[in-house]
Structure 1
Amino acid sequence: MKQLAVAVLFFAGLLAMNAQQVTITGKVTDEEGAGLSGANVYAVEVGAGATADMDGNYQFTVPAGRHIIEASYVGYSTSSQKVDVTEGTILNFTLTEGSALDEVVIYSGSKKAEKLTSSTATIITISAREISEYAGNPAELLAREKGIDYFRAGIAAPAFNIRGFNSNFNSKNLQVVDNRFSSLIATGLPMGPLTTTIKEDIEQVELILGPNATLYGPNAHNGLINTITKDPRKYEGTTIAGNLGVTGDGDAYYSGRLRFAKKFNEKWAFKATGEYTKATEFHYADTVYIDRKAADGSPGADGVKEGYPEFELDPKVEFFKTEASAYFTPTAGTDIIATYGHSNSTYLSPTNVGRNQIIDWRISFYQLRFNTKNFFAQTYFTTSKTDDTYSIDDRTKQYYRGIDAGMTPEEAAGDFSYASGALFKDDSKRWNAEIQYNNTLFEDMELITGLQYQKDMANSKSTYLLDQTDDDTIDVTQLGGYLQLDYNFGSGIKALAAARVDHHEIYGTNFIPKLGVVKELEKGSFRLTYGQGIASPTILNMYGDLFSGLILGNAEGFTLADGSKIAPQDVEKVSTYEVGYRGALAKKLYTDVNAYYNINKDFLSPVTVIGVTTHRGDTPIQEVQSGYAIYNGLVATYVNFGEVNTYGADLSLTYVLSPQWNMTANYSYFDYSFDENNMENDFDKNGEVNFLDFLVNAPKNKGGLGINYHGSRFFGSVFGRTVQKYNYFSSFQIASETIPGMNYRGRPIVEDAPSGDSYNYGPLGGFVTMDLNIGYKVSDKVTISLAATNLFNQDLREFTAAPPTRGLYVLETKIHLD
């Protein structure tokens, strides 16, 4: 595999060096015709570009062919044009002051540069300037966008969901950084806080609402977040940033970051980044409910579970991150980029069975990319390693088992407290490779086609997977191919047809289509899209081995004691119909609105008890279940079931008061329906189909309102967000109002009361909160800003197995040296 990837890159390099090189020239001016000295002009797909001179003139070389050329200047809206570049092409730009919804270049919808108004997908973009001017965690900017269920699962774990079916273990939203899948190997979860990228190196963040599996593969199911880092040739210099803050609990927050970028000559450029962040989690100790027993093994006096705080909770939050990239440009418009990244993270992470104590979880990657006008190739290697991470819930229970058995607290807190499977180790690796070709077939038709390869090598050192020894790995491979055609019919009408075929070693072959039409108008565009997506079982779903085999993965199916069969888990499928409009409603008033209807089938269930089993696949269960003497073949696993329809609408409005001031508003509606008479929907097998079978876990209504200012020196924003109250269920975790006569996991649903092994504090959401950000550019080199998240320090219930969100107030100083 490695030899093939190197050969592909070498062959592509030879082709690129023979490509015809042409020169493009032009001028960048303001609305009054004055040249904008220092404006950036770039051919965004190939990374070639130049900086305008004192009169606004520019000149650079690119491969001949169709390009999107982008012009940008601080304080002005970005402009882009799609042109066929030949020798002597002249292209001028006129930029407008302010940040109106101009034509923004994006990558997520087609895996190549395109104008936002040309995309058939519903895409949200967050720019480098927005990120730079926000003093806090840039993930907070997601909370300001339509269609996003944003929540804070602690000070270090902001997360998001799109269009329902959220859980404490959600792998249905794909995270991509510079074309690299940024997800954990064994669990499939987005890396989130484990990522290696710092905010000063982010050029743009793009979010797709809805499935985008045709180009990105399984798990671009509910949505996709794509982060694009800064090119050192376009963003040169040294940036030093420091944050000093305090939480609503009075604890300190520190963060220091450094970015260095240098273009040495026309062929070589380099960048390196680093971050160290330290904080204390919001004060909170969850309650773990334990069936206490007397020392002789008999039930306790009252036979009722007792509640205890999480055992030996460590609220420390600590992150170290670094990346380095070398850019080599053999000819203009052709790049070979080598990147290394590493992170080491310690924090508290919520799961379906309580919080995990993440301790020194290390992520590393090595990536090699080749990019030219019509060809892209990459290979990358990802590693994930931790030795000491553990389940706080399970360790707490095991500790008290030891106490009940007569151990001293010191004895029970030692190795014994991990003996039931609380400890999670990871030494997993993954190889990825991709090649992509794009070109203009005819004058009005464009082609994108590619292949993707992935090999996962999961190793839990026998702690949470069915790997047998410390050196044993569970190897799973998959290969996918995609083809997309874009055709311009004229009169502003463009159509897209795409398809993907994926073959997975375990769950077989899947075909995924997508169709879309865009009608471009003078001031906007309408779009109509049909697409499919799949969510694939993770390695944990397929080969999990938790708590001595009580929970087992379902890659091979099970045989029950009565002889009936449980089928192996397969992919979950969604079909989406979507319509939208993006553009101007009136002078200075811009909108992006969409409505969608989803048909969701064959859900990937949360872990569920299937009963007493005799075999996993063809293997007797006593040879698989290490705790067989305790469980006697009783197994909980993952299955597919049911069908439900979801639907909703998202609306955003931007009103430009002046080049410096604008107001934004957004609103999202979400709901669902299902067939109560279809017993395939009866997931909990209680003879009745209701909402507890589907666990949609999303608010019906949410919205936000903000005002933003960007001047020559001052900048700032105020944003208010409201989330309707909603009930939430995720395995052992429950956050619900009292529902008379209804049970969840065999227990009555009662608010502010114990519920199984956890506590039901009541519904999530039901709040209005406000964030504030202000800043001042002391000089061209120094900026000071302040971000207040949850300005009034409310206790917000945003997630289960997580502390109530309180305020975070951060002062940031940023120094940029040329």
Structure 2
Amino acid sequence: MRTILSILLLFFCGITFAQTTITGTVVDDNGLPIPSANIIVVDASVGTVTDFDGNFTLNVDQNPPFTLQASSIGFESMSIEVTSNNQTLNFILNEGTALDEVVVSASRTPERIFESPVTVERFGLKEIKNTASADFYDGLENLKGVDINTNSLTFKSINTRGFAAFNNPRFMQLVDGMDNSAPALNFPLGNLIGMVETDVQSIELLPGAASALYGANAFNGILFMTSKNPFDHVGISGYIKQGITSQEAAGDNPYTDLGIRMAHKFSDKFAAKVNFGYVNGTDWLADSEADKLNRGLTRADLDYDGINIYGDEVSANIRAAGGGVGIIPNVVVSRTGYKESDLTDNKAESIKADWGLYYRPITDNSLEIAYVGKVGTGSTIYQGAQRYRIDGFFMQQHKLEIKNDNFFLRGYVTEDKAGDTYVMDATGVNINREWKSDADWFGDYIGTYVNATFSGATEAEAHAAARAVAEAERYEPGSPQFNRAFNKIINDPDLTTGSKFQDNSKIYHADANYNFSHLLDIAEIQVGGSYRKFSLNSFGTIYTDYDGPINYSEFGIYTQIQKSLDLNESMELKLTGSVRYDKAELFDGFFSPRISAGLTINKDHNIRGSFQTGFRNPSTQELFIGLDGGRAFLVGGAKINHERYFGTYDVSPFAQAAFGMPATITQTGESGYNNSMTASIATELGNHDAANNGREFVANPGSVKPEQVSSFELGYRGKVKGLVIDLSGYYNSYKDFQSTKNVIATYYGDNQNFDLTGYDPANPATVAGLNEDTQMILAALQNDDFEVYQTYTNTDASVNSYGAAIAVSTKVLGNFDLAMNYTFAKLDFDTSQDPDFRTGFNTPEHKVKASFGNTELFKNFGFNLAWKWSDSYLWEASFGDGDVPAYHTIDAQINYRIPSLKSTFKVGAANLLGDEYFTAFGSGFIGSQYYVSWTINNL
């Protein structure tokens, strides 16, 4: 009996530890190796990937027979049965099309892009390798429907379907499931603190609303970046790019971009990886001296305010400042400012690293436990309501995730620190004030003007003399006095005297999802939810958190049901329905549904239609900002925030004498929301009809609340005689659209009693017949006794947008790749409904992109050309409004592979022709980048 048990035990152990080894290669139909192809055991969670030469080795704790499948993005999958140990398999994959690629984002489950219920774009390893742009993130702009606004060399903002800005809270960016928005800013910083190129597995982009599955900020679109898992991609890979940036304003400057990835599979249960990336260069210098308010003024004019000149936004009506003396002209005069190049070294830098520990506790099971950490720091330029020099900005993320093929549960924390960041506008203003206070400067100006007038000078001569005296001994850029003042101010967090931006904000986030498809045959059902807590801590420099951090939270739950129906042998109908409920602490909860249908015909044509809703909670800044923006004070729209912001102001001598007002008053942000006049009242008052009561000049914008969108979309994907076609059209209707509105809050006078009945602008004597509050408001406007507030609110006006996009790709001249796409986007908004409300559509009506290349022009040599053209458009944002002219660019690259070195060498240029352009009002002109790169892929 003992002998029999021993034999059985040996037999059992032999089965348990039986191991089959398979080796082989994966090549395309031209015999070229396919690196990073996936090799998996069918119906098991075991696999590997091919190396640079297309070779693989796989050890399986399973006896033959079983089946291996080889797959790679852009190729048709192939399966071969394993019949013996130590078998060698050679896979030859036929090239497929973009429609064969698999995406996860559209439905939170793997599916061919061809069958996706909504529009989705994909950017994979092939596209990363062949992009003609300077890096993979820039290459995303070649996708149809995608806009990238260049804020600086290292900070670019992605957007889809309109309403774009650098601070773009309508667009979400997820890196391995983590929202990489900076907590203080509440929007992504591009790839400044993102992913290293050699660790990118795939990128998926959903344009349009996706709130039904992804929550609040998935409003205009969502970008998914997925990294390589160290269980599947082991070894060392890296790259270095060296070149120059060339811009007329900044000249030619060196540019370096490098990254390295190291991953190791210690066993079938434990693997780890680490990545490091570094970018260094000179930023696109912003040097526009055009009038910021689009009046056509220059420094020769009295009230000049240059776009990239800081300090000249400080201005005053010199008659009002001079006590209303008649000899002083009733004109506005501004101080002299400093150029942006005087206030920054223009250095662009990004340093980032991430690491991950991955554990699979159960053999032949997809269960995985992972910890991922990310840190990054950098220097760049950010343009919001003002221009920020982000210097030493630090951000970190830490995630713990448990998942398998059917569920995931993750939690992560994001923390940022502002480092040595400062506001350039405030720097210019306060260097001037460090040298001479505003009161002294305008006092010198007014006194000199009066004396020059009494001496017989003309008005122009008197103004010239006044500015010369007021400017005497002004700190010149580069002088010891200027440098001392500059260093003092950028380290002073009090924005009335300094410009330092302080922050140490955090986001805590958790989300989960479970797919019941393995348990139910009737349909694929998923449920999930998320929770997020904000902790804002800018020490009172950006937010109204003067008395400590501001904390608030939100949560959401959702479900989705998906069902495929075979109508006949050639037609399949795929139905998807989902709904989400969200509740933010500061607002009422509501539901976001999505329904879609996709009809596949003859496996080559798919017609899809969908209706979905989205919502966007106001961002952290839209809720709690409290900031002196120069021309306006920015006060967040949360009701509890209005009283948190306050300022003390000097009252004119006229109001003190006429109305008995005190010399100073304290005004809170509540005045901007509940006792304010329209920003246009000063210019429109002269056209007032005496029979009109003038109530249209009363502003009183409401507290901000979530905005919603209803989106209708139709699309088609298919193959027609060698052409791959993907087209879509959409119509978006917005409710409670969020944006900013500038208003005027006078220091005195109750606008509830504002009544202009009987007032004739041509007859000042009619003022006496008005009630006291109306007289006070008109006097305040005349004597500069008011503040301008930028409020964050919603409009009752109808805001809609619509558009369409089409992409076509094919093979020409044998094996040359040719692709082209066109995007149309249109805003439907009647400004007469709400003249002071700015939608910030910021999107060209027409955009065309095309690419032409060959990955194998001859052995190991390839090339690619990419051309982009953008129509002109109006840019509206809190920094300023202005036209962006039409532009076009050409990017190009050639590459050569040396398989024996596992290396690819590339020579490329972005904006090859050097035609400089800009994508946003106030930003620097974008020049050219020329580079040589060396990529080693030893996986």
TM bucket by the smaller chain? 0.7 to 0.9
Cα distance in 2 between the residues matched to 1:150 and 1:32: 36
Q: C-alpha deviations, 1:676-725, integer Å up to 9, x for none?
A: 77xxx4151xxxxxxx7433221111101110211251122101111111
- How far off its partner does 1:326 sit? 1.0
1:640 corresponds to which residue? 794
Cα drift, residue 26 of structure 1: 13
Aligned residue for 2:580, secondary structure, equals strand
Query: Which aligned pairs between 1:57-456 and structure 2 lie closer than 5 A?
Result: 71-73=70-72, 77-79=74-76, 96-98=93-95, 100-134=97-131, 136-248=134-246, 249-285=251-287, 286-288=308-310, 289-291=312-314, 303-305=332-334, 308=337, 309-310=339-340, 311-331=342-362, 332=364, 333-351=366-384, 353-405=385-437, 409=475, 410=481, 412-415=485-488, 419-420=494-495, 422-440=499-517, 442-456=520-534
Q: CA deviation at 1:241?
A: 1.3
1:568 paired residue number: 703
Please say if residues 130 and 864 of structure 2, whose CA atoms lie closer than 8 Å, have aligned partners that are also in contact.
no
| SS at structure 2 position matched to 1:194 | coil
Change (3 A) 1:659 1:378: farther
Corresponding residue of 1:751: none
In structure 2, what residue type is equivalent to 1:109?
Answer: A
Alignment check: 8 A CA contact 1:27 1:35 kept: no
TM value normalised by structure 2: 0.71
Structure 1 residue 401, shift from structure 2 partner: 3.2
Partner of 1:620: none
Counterpart of 1:666 in structure 2 is 821
The reply on whether 1:724 has 2:871 as its aligned counterpart is: yes
1:674–1:80 CA distance, 2 compared to 1 (3 A): farther
Q: Which residue of 2 aligns with 1:682?
A: 834
User: CA, structure 1 residues 35+207, in 2 after alignment: closer, same or farther (shift >3 Å)?
Assistant: closer
Partner of 2:580: 500
Distance 1:149 1:31, change over 3 A: closer
For residues 551-595 of structure 1, what are the alpha-carbon distances to aligned partners after superposition, in whole Å with 9 as ceiling and x for unaligned? 221211746248996532111111110011112122x21011001
| Structure 1 residue 727 displacement after superposition | 1.9
C-alpha separation between the residues in 2 aligned to 1:45 and 1:572?
45
Q: CA deviation at 1:132?
A: 3.2
CA deviation after TM superposition for structure 1 residue 297, in Å: 6.9
The verdict on how the C-alpha distance between 1:275 and 1:110 changes in structure 2, with shifts beyond 3 A counting, is same
Query: Quick one: distance in 1 between partners of 2:879 and 2:104?
Result: 39
Deviation at 1:783, TM superposition (A): 1.3
Where does residue 763 of structure 2 map in the other structure?
Answer: none
8 Å contact 1:241–1:815 — kept in the other structure?
yes
Partner of 1:529: 610
Deviations 1:176-230 (A, max 9, x none): 1111111121321113143242111111111111111111101111111110011
2:933 to 801, 812, 815: 812
Tell me the residue number matched to 1:715: 862
Q: Which amino acid aligns with 1:773?
A: Q
Q: CA deviation at 1:31?
A: 8.6
When the two chains are superposed, the root-mean-square deviation of aligned CA atoms in Å is: 3.6
Query: For residue 14 of structure 2, what is the aligned residue in structure 1?
Result: none
Aligned to 1:655: 810
Q: Deviations over 1:103-146 (max 9, x none)?
A: 11112112232221221111110012321344722122122111
The code of the aligned residue for 1:605 comes to S
Kept after mapping to 2: 8 A contact 1:70/1:79: no
Map Cα deviations across residues 496-533 of structure 1 (whole Å, 9 max, x no partner). Answer: 00000011011221210000001122213111011111
Structure 2 residue identity aligned to 1:413: F
Equivalent in the alignment of 1:699 = 844
Contact persistence 1:79–1:93 (CA under 8 A): no
Quick check: 718-727 or 298-307, which moved more?
298-307
Contact residue 76 and residue 95 of structure 2 kept, 8 A = no
**Deviation of 1:99 (Å):** 5.7
1:256–1:277 contact (8 Å) kept in structure 2: yes
Can you list the C-alpha shifts for 1:765-810, whole angstroms capped at 9, x where unaligned?
4112111011111225121112210001111122222111110111
Distance in 2 (alpha carbons) for counterparts of 1:605 and 1:324? 39
Provide the rounded CA distance (Å) in 1 between the counterparts of 2:382 and 2:581. 35
Instruction: Give 1:444 shift.
Output: 4.5
- For 1:81 and 1:157, locate their aligned partners in 2 and report how far apart those are by CA, in whole Å: 41
How far apart are the structure 2 equivalents of 1:551 and 1:809?
40
Q: SS in structure 1 opposite 2:421?
A: strand
Q: Does the aligned pair in 1 maintain the 2:21–2:57 contact within 8 Å?
A: no
Match of 1:484 in 2: 560
> Given that residues 390 and 423 in structure 1 are in contact (C-alpha distance below 8 angstroms), is that contact kept between their aligned partners in structure 2?
yes
2: CA distance, partners of 1:188 / 1:581 = 35
Q: How far apart are residue 282 of structure 1 and its match?
A: 2.3
Structure whose residues are more often helix by fraction: 2
Mapped pair 1:791 → 2:912: yes
Displacement of 1:358 in angstroms is 0.1
8 Å Cα contact 1:429/1:458 also seen in 2: yes
Alpha carbons 1:98, 1:660 under 8 Å: kept: no
1:581 equivalent to 2:603? Answer: no
Q: Distance in 2 between matches of 1:454 and 1:307?
A: 46
Q: Go from structure 1 to structure 2 and tell me whether the alpha carbon gap of 1:801 and 1:633 turns closer, same or farther (over 3 Å shift).
A: closer
Contact 1:168–1:800 (8 Å) recurs in 2? no
2:738 to 587, 597, 604: 604
Is the partner of 2:98 in helix, strand or coil? coil
Cα gap change, 1:673/1:25 in structure 2, threshold over 3 Å: closer, same or farther? farther
> Is 1:515 matched up with 2:600?
no
Opposite residue 272 of structure 1, the aligned amino acid is V
Task: Classify the secondary structure of the residue corresponding to 2:181.
Answer: coil
Query: Secondary structure, in 3 states, of the residue corresponding to 1:226?
Result: strand
Larger mean CA deviation between 146-155 and 458-467 belongs to: 146-155
Query: In 1, distance between residues paired with 2:252 and 2:606?
Result: 49
Tell me which moved more, 594-603 or 111-120. Answer: 111-120
1:293-341 per-residue CA deviation (whole Å, 9 max, x = no partner) reads: 79x9759997443663124222011111000011111123111111111
Structure in which a larger fraction of residues adopt strand? 1
Q: Would you say the 8 A contact 1:79–1:104 is kept in 2?
A: no
Q: Which has the larger radius of gyration?
A: 2
Structure 2 residue matching 1:468: 3-state secondary structure: coil
Equivalent-residue separation in structure 2 for 1:57 and 1:399 (angstroms)? 66
